[in-house]
Amino acid sequence: MKKVFILSFSFLSLLFSCKKEKESIQVTSSDITESVYASGKVKAIDQYNVYSTVNGVLQNIIVNVGDNITKGQTLLEIDNLTSELNTENARIALDLSAENNRKGSDKLEEIELNVNLALEKLQLDSSLFFRQKKLWEQNIGTKLDFEQRQLAYNNSIVNYETAKKRLAQLKTQLQNEFKRANVNYDINQKLFSDYSIKSSINGRVYDILKDRGELVTPQTPLAVIGKADTFLLELAVDENDIIKVNTGQKALITMDSYKGEVLEAIVDKIYPIMNERTRTFVVEAHFINAPKKLFPNLSAEANIIIQTKKNIITIPNNYIVDGKYVFVDGNEKREVKLGLKDYQKTEVLEGLKENETIYKP
Protein backbone atom coordinates (compact mmCIF):
# COMPACT_ATOMS: atom_id res chain seq x y z
CA MET A 1 0.00 0.00 0.00
CA LYS A 2 2.87 2.36 0.85
CA LYS A 3 4.56 1.73 -2.54
CA VAL A 4 1.40 2.61 -4.40
CA PHE A 5 1.20 6.03 -2.68
CA ILE A 6 4.80 6.94 -3.62
CA LEU A 7 4.24 5.94 -7.22
CA SER A 8 1.07 8.03 -7.46
CA PHE A 9 2.78 11.11 -6.02
CA SER A 10 5.72 10.83 -8.43
CA PHE A 11 3.40 10.48 -11.35
CA LEU A 12 1.41 13.58 -10.42
CA SER A 13 4.59 15.66 -10.00
CA LEU A 14 5.85 14.60 -13.42
CA LEU A 15 2.53 15.38 -15.00
CA PHE A 16 2.42 18.88 -13.38
CA SER A 17 5.96 19.81 -14.48
CA CYS A 18 5.28 18.74 -18.03
CA LYS A 19 2.24 20.95 -18.20
CA LYS A 20 4.02 23.98 -16.64
CA GLU A 21 5.54 26.28 -19.31
CA LYS A 22 7.99 29.16 -18.96
CA GLU A 23 6.46 32.64 -19.02
CA SER A 24 7.28 34.45 -22.28
CA ILE A 25 6.52 37.59 -24.25
CA GLN A 26 7.01 38.86 -27.77
CA VAL A 27 9.49 41.71 -28.24
CA THR A 28 7.66 44.92 -29.18
CA SER A 29 8.35 48.59 -29.85
CA SER A 30 7.36 51.26 -27.36
CA ASP A 31 8.42 54.62 -25.95
CA ILE A 32 10.86 54.90 -23.06
CA THR A 33 11.81 57.82 -20.85
CA GLU A 34 14.97 58.18 -18.79
CA SER A 35 14.45 60.14 -15.57
CA VAL A 36 16.22 61.01 -12.34
CA TYR A 37 14.45 60.51 -9.04
CA ALA A 38 14.43 63.29 -6.46
CA SER A 39 12.68 63.76 -3.14
CA GLY A 40 11.88 67.14 -1.69
CA LYS A 41 9.33 69.55 -0.33
CA VAL A 42 7.25 72.59 -1.19
CA LYS A 43 8.59 75.97 -0.10
CA ALA A 44 7.16 79.44 -0.33
CA ILE A 45 9.18 81.66 -2.64
CA ASP A 46 11.72 83.67 -0.58
CA GLN A 47 10.86 81.53 2.45
CA TYR A 48 13.29 82.00 5.31
CA ASN A 49 13.64 81.60 9.05
CA VAL A 50 13.60 84.84 11.02
CA TYR A 51 16.46 85.29 13.49
CA SER A 52 17.41 87.93 16.05
CA THR A 53 20.81 89.61 15.91
CA VAL A 54 20.81 90.20 19.67
CA ASN A 55 20.27 88.22 22.86
CA GLY A 56 17.27 88.97 25.01
CA VAL A 57 13.78 88.04 26.13
CA LEU A 58 10.96 88.00 23.57
CA GLN A 59 8.72 90.80 24.77
CA ASN A 60 6.04 91.21 22.08
CA ILE A 61 4.74 89.15 19.16
CA ILE A 62 3.19 91.74 16.86
CA VAL A 63 1.84 89.42 14.13
CA ASN A 64 -0.09 86.15 14.00
CA VAL A 65 0.41 83.00 11.96
CA GLY A 66 -1.26 83.49 8.58
CA ASP A 67 -1.00 87.30 8.58
CA ASN A 68 0.03 89.03 5.38
CA ILE A 69 2.98 91.34 6.02
CA THR A 70 4.85 94.12 4.22
CA LYS A 71 8.56 94.77 3.86
CA GLY A 72 9.90 96.60 6.90
CA GLN A 73 6.93 95.68 9.11
CA THR A 74 7.80 94.82 12.72
CA LEU A 75 7.17 91.15 13.52
CA LEU A 76 8.54 90.71 17.03
CA GLU A 77 10.10 92.85 19.75
CA ILE A 78 12.83 91.88 22.22
CA ASP A 79 13.25 93.53 25.63
CA ASN A 80 15.42 96.60 24.94
CA LEU A 81 15.43 98.82 28.04
CA THR A 82 19.24 99.06 28.25
CA SER A 83 19.55 99.80 24.55
CA GLU A 84 16.82 102.44 24.83
CA LEU A 85 18.70 104.22 27.63
CA ASN A 86 21.98 104.08 25.72
CA THR A 87 20.27 105.55 22.66
CA GLU A 88 18.78 108.37 24.72
CA ASN A 89 22.20 109.20 26.23
CA ALA A 90 23.72 109.27 22.75
CA ARG A 91 20.94 111.58 21.54
CA ILE A 92 21.55 114.00 24.43
CA ALA A 93 25.28 114.03 23.70
CA LEU A 94 24.57 114.69 20.03
CA ASP A 95 22.20 117.57 20.82
CA LEU A 96 24.79 119.14 23.14
CA SER A 97 27.52 118.82 20.53
CA ALA A 98 25.27 120.34 17.89
CA GLU A 99 24.42 123.24 20.21
CA ASN A 100 28.14 123.91 20.80
CA ASN A 101 28.77 123.99 17.08
CA ARG A 102 25.81 126.23 16.40
CA LYS A 103 26.15 128.85 19.13
CA GLY A 104 29.66 128.27 20.41
CA SER A 105 30.90 127.13 23.80
CA ASP A 106 32.36 129.44 26.48
CA LYS A 107 35.82 128.33 25.48
CA LEU A 108 35.11 129.08 21.83
CA GLU A 109 33.82 132.55 22.70
CA GLU A 110 36.91 133.20 24.81
CA ILE A 111 39.28 132.27 21.98
CA GLU A 112 37.29 134.29 19.45
CA LEU A 113 37.60 137.29 21.79
CA ASN A 114 41.36 136.72 22.05
CA VAL A 115 41.61 136.65 18.26
CA ASN A 116 39.76 139.97 17.98
CA LEU A 117 41.95 141.57 20.67
CA ALA A 118 45.10 140.24 18.99
CA LEU A 119 43.91 141.66 15.68
CA GLU A 120 43.22 145.08 17.20
CA LYS A 121 46.65 145.14 18.86
CA LEU A 122 48.29 144.06 15.62
CA GLN A 123 46.57 146.88 13.75
CA LEU A 124 47.71 149.39 16.38
CA ASP A 125 51.31 148.10 16.50
CA SER A 126 51.40 148.01 12.73
CA SER A 127 50.33 151.64 12.50
CA LEU A 128 52.89 152.73 15.13
CA PHE A 129 55.69 150.69 13.56
CA PHE A 130 55.24 152.00 10.03
CA ARG A 131 54.95 155.56 11.33
CA GLN A 132 58.18 155.14 13.31
CA LYS A 133 59.82 153.55 10.31
CA LYS A 134 58.96 156.52 8.13
CA LEU A 135 60.40 158.89 10.74
CA TRP A 136 63.53 156.80 11.04
CA GLU A 137 64.00 156.95 7.28
CA GLN A 138 63.92 160.76 7.68
CA ASN A 139 66.51 160.54 10.51
CA ILE A 140 63.88 161.53 13.04
CA GLY A 141 63.78 159.72 16.38
CA THR A 142 66.16 157.24 17.94
CA LYS A 143 67.09 153.77 16.82
CA LEU A 144 65.80 152.40 20.13
CA ASP A 145 62.32 153.76 19.46
CA PHE A 146 62.35 152.18 16.00
CA GLU A 147 63.49 148.77 17.31
CA GLN A 148 60.89 148.78 20.11
CA ARG A 149 58.10 149.53 17.62
CA GLN A 150 59.40 146.79 15.32
CA LEU A 151 59.57 144.27 18.16
CA ALA A 152 56.04 145.12 19.32
CA TYR A 153 54.76 144.76 15.75
CA ASN A 154 56.42 141.33 15.26
CA ASN A 155 55.07 140.10 18.59
CA SER A 156 51.57 141.19 17.60
CA ILE A 157 51.84 139.22 14.34
CA VAL A 158 52.88 136.06 16.26
CA ASN A 159 50.14 136.51 18.87
CA TYR A 160 47.47 137.05 16.23
CA GLU A 161 48.53 134.00 14.19
CA THR A 162 48.69 131.87 17.36
CA ALA A 163 45.19 132.96 18.40
CA LYS A 164 43.83 132.14 14.93
CA LYS A 165 45.39 128.67 15.05
CA ARG A 166 43.91 127.99 18.50
CA LEU A 167 40.52 129.09 17.20
CA ALA A 168 40.80 126.81 14.14
CA GLN A 169 41.90 123.88 16.30
CA LEU A 170 38.99 124.33 18.68
CA LYS A 171 36.49 124.52 15.81
CA THR A 172 37.96 121.33 14.34
CA GLN A 173 37.77 119.68 17.75
CA LEU A 174 34.10 120.67 18.14
CA GLN A 175 33.29 119.44 14.64
CA ASN A 176 35.01 116.11 15.32
CA GLU A 177 33.16 115.76 18.61
CA PHE A 178 29.91 116.41 16.76
CA LYS A 179 30.77 113.78 14.16
CA ARG A 180 31.67 111.24 16.86
CA ALA A 181 28.45 112.00 18.73
CA ASN A 182 26.51 111.59 15.49
CA VAL A 183 28.18 108.24 14.72
CA ASN A 184 27.63 107.06 18.30
CA TYR A 185 23.97 108.00 18.07
CA ASP A 186 23.59 106.19 14.75
CA ILE A 187 25.23 103.08 16.23
CA ASN A 188 22.94 103.13 19.25
CA GLN A 189 19.93 103.70 17.03
CA LYS A 190 20.95 100.68 14.94
CA LEU A 191 21.42 98.58 18.07
CA PHE A 192 18.07 99.80 19.34
CA SER A 193 16.38 98.90 16.05
CA ASP A 194 17.89 95.40 16.23
CA TYR A 195 15.52 94.71 19.12
CA SER A 196 12.60 95.21 16.73
CA ILE A 197 12.68 92.33 14.23
CA LYS A 198 11.28 93.36 10.86
CA SER A 199 10.30 91.58 7.68
CA SER A 200 12.61 91.88 4.68
CA ILE A 201 9.87 90.96 2.17
CA ASN A 202 6.21 91.40 1.35
CA GLY A 203 4.67 88.06 2.20
CA ARG A 204 2.99 85.94 4.86
CA VAL A 205 3.78 84.65 8.34
CA TYR A 206 3.77 80.84 8.09
CA ASP A 207 4.84 80.04 11.64
CA ILE A 208 5.82 81.60 14.98
CA LEU A 209 8.41 79.40 16.69
CA LYS A 210 8.75 81.12 20.08
CA ASP A 211 6.41 82.32 22.83
CA ARG A 212 6.41 85.64 24.64
CA GLY A 213 8.82 85.62 27.58
CA GLU A 214 11.24 83.08 26.11
CA LEU A 215 14.96 83.77 25.94
CA VAL A 216 16.24 84.16 22.36
CA THR A 217 19.72 84.21 20.86
CA PRO A 218 21.06 84.87 17.33
CA GLN A 219 21.06 81.08 16.84
CA THR A 220 17.34 80.74 17.66
CA PRO A 221 14.84 80.72 14.76
CA LEU A 222 11.84 82.83 15.75
CA ALA A 223 9.45 82.63 12.80
CA VAL A 224 9.02 81.40 9.24
CA ILE A 225 7.94 83.85 6.54
CA GLY A 226 7.77 83.81 2.74
CA LYS A 227 5.84 85.04 -0.25
CA ALA A 228 2.08 84.58 0.00
CA ASP A 229 0.52 81.91 -2.27
CA THR A 230 3.60 81.54 -4.51
CA PHE A 231 5.53 78.31 -4.08
CA LEU A 232 8.44 76.37 -5.50
CA LEU A 233 9.82 72.85 -5.15
CA GLU A 234 13.11 72.21 -3.39
CA LEU A 235 14.40 68.81 -4.51
CA ALA A 236 17.36 66.71 -3.40
CA VAL A 237 19.20 64.96 -6.27
CA ASP A 238 21.79 62.27 -5.60
CA GLU A 239 25.40 63.03 -6.53
CA ASN A 240 25.36 60.09 -8.97
CA ASP A 241 22.55 61.69 -10.98
CA ILE A 242 23.24 65.43 -10.76
CA ILE A 243 25.37 65.55 -13.93
CA LYS A 244 22.29 64.54 -15.94
CA VAL A 245 20.12 67.37 -14.62
CA ASN A 246 19.89 70.74 -16.38
CA THR A 247 17.70 73.81 -16.02
CA GLY A 248 14.65 73.78 -18.27
CA GLN A 249 14.03 70.03 -17.90
CA LYS A 250 10.52 68.89 -17.07
CA ALA A 251 9.80 67.06 -13.82
CA LEU A 252 6.78 64.89 -12.99
CA ILE A 253 5.69 65.48 -9.40
CA THR A 254 3.67 63.29 -7.03
CA MET A 255 2.54 64.42 -3.59
CA ASP A 256 0.86 62.67 -0.67
CA SER A 257 -1.51 65.63 -0.45
CA TYR A 258 -2.69 65.01 -4.04
CA LYS A 259 -2.74 61.24 -4.33
CA GLY A 260 -3.32 59.89 -7.82
CA GLU A 261 -2.33 63.16 -9.49
CA VAL A 262 0.83 63.75 -11.50
CA LEU A 263 1.84 67.42 -11.53
CA GLU A 264 4.34 69.00 -13.90
CA ALA A 265 7.21 71.32 -13.04
CA ILE A 266 10.25 72.89 -14.69
CA VAL A 267 13.78 72.87 -13.23
CA ASP A 268 14.83 76.49 -12.56
CA LYS A 269 18.02 76.35 -10.53
CA ILE A 270 20.75 73.91 -9.56
CA TYR A 271 22.80 74.80 -6.48
CA PRO A 272 26.45 74.03 -7.30
CA ILE A 273 27.53 72.67 -3.90
CA MET A 274 26.86 69.23 -2.47
CA ASN A 275 25.50 68.55 0.99
CA GLU A 276 28.28 66.37 2.38
CA ARG A 277 26.01 64.73 4.95
CA THR A 278 23.31 63.55 2.52
CA ARG A 279 25.53 63.47 -0.63
CA THR A 280 22.84 65.35 -2.53
CA PHE A 281 22.46 68.60 -4.48
CA VAL A 282 19.58 71.06 -4.10
CA VAL A 283 17.51 71.65 -7.23
CA GLU A 284 14.67 74.18 -7.45
CA ALA A 285 11.68 73.83 -9.77
CA HIS A 286 8.41 75.67 -10.30
CA PHE A 287 4.98 74.18 -10.98
CA ILE A 288 3.65 74.58 -14.52
CA ASN A 289 0.09 74.40 -13.19
CA ALA A 290 0.22 74.55 -9.42
CA PRO A 291 -2.56 72.98 -7.32
CA LYS A 292 -5.14 75.33 -5.85
CA LYS A 293 -3.86 74.89 -2.29
CA LEU A 294 -0.24 74.48 -1.22
CA PHE A 295 1.55 74.87 2.08
CA PRO A 296 5.25 75.11 2.97
CA ASN A 297 7.01 71.82 3.77
CA LEU A 298 4.53 69.53 2.00
CA SER A 299 6.48 66.46 0.88
CA ALA A 300 6.95 65.75 -2.83
CA GLU A 301 8.66 63.23 -5.08
CA ALA A 302 9.86 64.02 -8.57
CA ASN A 303 11.07 62.26 -11.68
CA ILE A 304 13.15 64.72 -13.66
CA ILE A 305 12.93 63.74 -17.33
CA ILE A 306 16.36 63.45 -18.91
CA GLN A 307 15.42 62.16 -22.38
CA THR A 308 12.65 60.28 -24.20
CA LYS A 309 12.92 57.83 -27.12
CA LYS A 310 9.89 56.82 -29.16
CA ASN A 311 9.04 53.62 -31.05
CA ILE A 312 12.12 51.62 -30.06
CA ILE A 313 12.55 47.94 -29.12
CA THR A 314 12.16 47.46 -25.39
CA ILE A 315 11.95 44.50 -23.01
CA PRO A 316 10.83 44.27 -19.37
CA ASN A 317 13.61 44.62 -16.84
CA ASN A 318 12.75 41.32 -15.14
CA TYR A 319 13.55 39.42 -18.39
CA ILE A 320 17.19 40.52 -18.32
CA VAL A 321 19.79 38.14 -16.86
CA ASP A 322 23.11 39.38 -15.42
CA GLY A 323 22.60 42.78 -16.98
CA LYS A 324 23.19 41.66 -20.60
CA TYR A 325 21.47 38.35 -21.43
CA VAL A 326 17.96 37.12 -22.32
CA PHE A 327 16.54 33.63 -22.81
CA VAL A 328 15.29 32.70 -26.32
CA ASP A 329 13.98 29.35 -27.56
CA GLY A 330 13.38 28.20 -24.02
CA ASN A 331 16.82 27.80 -22.49
CA GLU A 332 19.12 29.48 -25.02
CA LYS A 333 20.98 32.41 -23.47
CA ARG A 334 21.63 35.31 -25.86
CA GLU A 335 23.72 38.41 -25.23
CA VAL A 336 22.09 41.72 -26.05
CA LYS A 337 23.28 45.33 -26.09
CA LEU A 338 21.11 47.53 -23.91
CA GLY A 339 20.51 51.28 -23.88
CA LEU A 340 18.07 53.56 -22.10
CA LYS A 341 16.40 52.21 -18.97
CA ASP A 342 13.50 53.21 -16.77
CA TYR A 343 11.84 51.54 -13.80
CA GLN A 344 9.97 48.97 -15.91
CA LYS A 345 11.72 48.39 -19.23
CA THR A 346 15.02 48.74 -21.08
CA GLU A 347 15.92 49.69 -24.63
CA VAL A 348 17.54 46.95 -26.76
CA LEU A 349 20.14 48.30 -29.17
CA GLU A 350 21.40 45.00 -30.61
CA GLY A 351 20.64 41.28 -30.27
CA LEU A 352 16.84 41.16 -30.61
CA LYS A 353 14.29 41.92 -33.30
CA GLU A 354 10.67 42.90 -32.99
CA ASN A 355 8.22 39.98 -32.54
CA GLU A 356 10.93 37.60 -31.29
CA THR A 357 9.93 35.60 -28.22
CA ILE A 358 11.91 35.85 -24.99
CA TYR A 359 11.43 33.87 -21.78
CA LYS A 360 11.33 35.00 -18.22
CA PRO A 361 14.23 33.64 -16.14
Same domain, 97 and 169: yes
Q: Are residues 299 and 351 in the same domain?
A: yes
Determine how many CB atoms are found less than 10 A away from the CB of residue 96. Answer: 14
Choosing from 204, 225, 246, the residue where a domain stops is 225
Residue 249: per-residue pLDDT:
95
In a domain, 8, yes or no: no
Which residue range is the domain that position 176 belongs to? 82-193
What are the per-10-residue average pLDDT scores of the chain (361 residues)? Answer: 40 44 81 90 94 87 94 87 62 67 67 86 86 83 84 89 85 77 70 80 94 89 92 96 95 93 95 95 95 92 90 86 84 84 82 83 82
Q: Verify that 216 and 355 share a domain, yes or no.
A: no
Give the torsion sign (CA, 236, 242, 248, 251).
negative
Q: Are residues 37 and 112 in the same domain?
A: no
pLDDT confidence of residue 19:
43
Same domain, 69 and 98: no
Per-residue confidence (pLDDT) for residue 189, from 0 to 100: 65
CATH number of the domain bearing residue 66: 2.40.50.100
Question: Do both 69 and 86 map to the same domain?
Answer: no
Query: Does 125 share its domain with 268?
Result: no
> Could you tell me if 219 and 109 lie in one domain?
no
DSSP-derived letter for residue 321 is B
Q: What pLDDT score was predicted for residue 61?
A: 93
Q: How many CB atoms are located within 10 Å of the residue 320 CB?
A: 20
pLDDT at 309 (0 to 100): 84
Is residue 235 domain-resident?
yes
Q: What's the confidence (pLDDT) of residue 152?
A: 87
Domain co-membership, 217 together with 335: no
- Specify the CATH number for the domain of residue 274: 2.40.30.170
Q: Which pLDDT does position 320 carry in this prediction?
A: 87
On the 0-12 / 13-18 / 19+ scale of CB atoms within 10 A, 292 is exposed
Single out the residue in 193, 216, 249 at which a domain terminates.
193
- The number of domains in the chain is 3
DSSP reduced 3-state for 295: coil
